[in-house]
Structure 1
Amino acid sequence: MSNDIYSSSMLQTYSVRTAANTSAYFIPRIEPDMKILDIGCGPGSITLDLATLVPQGTIIGIDCNETAINSARELTKKRGVDNATFQVANVLDLPFEDETFDIVCAHQVLIHLPNESSKTGAVEGLKEMRRVCKPGGLVCARECDWRSAVIHPSIPGVLDSVKLVEDLTALKRTSPYGGMARSWAERAGFKPADVEASAVAVYYSMPEEVKWWGETMAQRLEQGSSLETGVREGLISESQKDQFPRAWRKWAEQSDALFSMTDVQIVCKK
């Protein structure tokens, strides 16, 4: 997975994620004594929220980036949580025995997994998640679909930056299309009748939300490698490299600004 998702601006974005705003689709299924695995836990904000729901159980958060894991461990100390642990690991090669967890969950992880030859990264990730899940347990994932982006108004450079993201995912051989989640699950071995799919819209329209999102997007572009790679690959010009972050900040100043994207959620019973 790209290290761009672990720039300081991205870690800040991930830190505002909570179980309430990311995991409501499977929270009612959680029992107090369950053992949960949180894939791609980032700085741990979701993981530690879920830990409070399993007071007699445990939760493990994994991420492939050591910086993210260190942040999660620090947050664990600050919150005083004693039933959550974190470790560096890769979803494509989980260091756990078969049938270990009651729930295996992931938030915005599958879309970052690279495709190789005839293998789809998201499918391979779900296969591993399914392997470590107990019979009768649940594999849950929520993934955004970049094709659903709605951005108003059309500030020059903003929509072009979204197009750049899609073009770069083609180069990285990833699949940023959460709408394929049910298909991925079935290809990973889940029976169609055992896969529940739903969708929610993530949107920013209040002035404080718009300002935060515009600045976040600008910083992601400035701190990540997308712009440099775009220029190097001939996807954008040198002038656009500077234009895109400015465009997001200008967008954030508009009184009628709105950003929306659809997340697709799947709950798969093993």
Structure 2
Amino acid sequence: MIGPKIYETVAEMRQAVDAARAQGKRIALVPTMGALHEGHLSLVRAAREHAGHVIVSIFVNPTQFAPTEDFDAYPRDSEADLRLLAGLGVEGVFMPPAEEVYPQGFATAVSVGGPAEGLESATRPHFFGGVATVVTKLLLAALPDVAVFGEKDYQQLCVIRRFVRDLDIPVNILGGPTVREKDGLAMSSRNRYLDADARRTAALVPQVLSEAIDRLDAGEEASTVLADGTARLAEAGFSVDYLELRDAETLAPVDPNGTSAARLLVAAKLGKTRLIDNMNVARPTAGWR
């Protein structure tokens, strides 16, 4: 099996992109931090639907990790990742060393607000600045026609869409649906941190979301539904950062009199493993209570 070409520098990737464009091909980029699973592969397949030349970036971005977080322990398996991408016919993989992305003297950051405010930012204030900076660099390095991100990281997707519009970066940002295990748990590279008992308990996260949505659809008061869901997770051993109902586009608190769709988002730690998830919520015809 012939694998994808590996680019370690921006210059190498741009040369490949220029050659593909000269052949009339559209370019798609799928940014990842590696430790690939079916969720990532679904994004690669979606990218293929929109472009004849697909590049996957693999870079564990240090600027989105706090000193107390799992940067050093974050799963890395580049050989397995490359085998999976070869099976999908990916043309190129951008695997830069840290000094290529953040060379000596690097002194610039992208500051984001709007959908970046609250939720993840409440406990990880460093996170979206790191994400916005590295994604901006990746988009400007490859200048793809489309870039694909997973809806599992829904707030991140909203933030990226916002700063791409604000900064006039010429790329179409696409969201790929969350891919789930048989018991409903959203696929994540961090799931491999869970032991057998914790893995069974983790399946409660999507259950709580689904049941909360059913109750909201039935017209129950949102504050009661969210409090009950939070309590249920806590009783099972989770430390809950948030379980909130937000506007699906802006991530602002839901307007009871508005007409837009909403998103139910959760983040909770089980032991040392932090899980996030979200689901779409159709607005009841009677409005939110």
- TM bucket normalised to smaller: 0.3 to 0.5
Larger radius of gyration: 2
- TM-score (normalizing by structure 2): 0.35
Higher relative contact order (CA 8 A, sep 6+): 1
TM-score by length of 1: 0.37
